[in-house]
Amino acid sequence: MNKKQMIKEQKRIKQEQKEVANLFQDDKEVYNVFKIALGVILFIGLAYVCLNLFNGNWQIFTKTNIPTEEIDEKMLLVGTMFNKEDAEYLVLVYDMKDESQKFYGALTQNYYSTPNLYYVDLSSGFNNKFIGDKTVISNDLEKIKFNGATLLLIKKDKITKSYTSEKEIVNYFNKK
């Protein structure tokens, strides 16, 4: 090859290199435009999700299918029935899953007198160890047992009176 041909060949190679470089430059521009478009789409999507979560349109973090129950301050456990701050109060102990539940509920529905009235549910699993064959009234929690509905009058953390039959309980509330 002579000198002219070599110069010509070098020019052709340089020209091809420029064309290849331009092609790569075009690919980089397309890639950059693609990255920018993807970033804009992700930003809009994230903004949409955040706005719907904060506005409450989507309730992802709340459990709406689980019912919540309010804590009834009038309900006690046998183990805590001596812990009330009242100087004198009544505790009606009965099985709230029994058919007598409606009877005692109606009997005490209009009781708003003093001393305050609290309830103990014998059907609760926490009170199982206090159910016995016969009712034993005691100020000692280890000895106390219930066989049915019982009304207790408690003064200064001691049981002062107890009514263990349905008739006695009805008479007490009818007097009030």
- pLDDT per position as a tens digit, 81-97: 888 888 899 999 988 88
Q: What pLDDT shows up at residue 59?
A: 67
H/E stretch holding 25 reads helix 3-55
**Which residues are within 8 A (CB) of 146 and not within 5 positions of it... i.e. 6 or more apart?**
78, 93, 122, 130, 131, 132, 135
Q: What is the band of 40 on the pLDDT scale with cuts at 50, 70, 90? A: very high
Radius of gyration of the chain (CA): 41
**What percentage of the chain carries pLDDT values higher than 70?**
87
pLDDT, tens digit (0-9, with 9 covering 90-100), for 92-141: 998 888 777 778 877 887 777 778 888 898 888 888 889 988 988 988 88
Cα gap 160→23, rounded to integer Å = 100
Distance of CA 164 to the CA centre of its chain: 37
Beta strands in the chain (DSSP E): 75-76, 88-94, 116-121, 150-155, 158-163
Instruction: Report whether 76 contacts 120 (CB < 8 A).
Output: yes
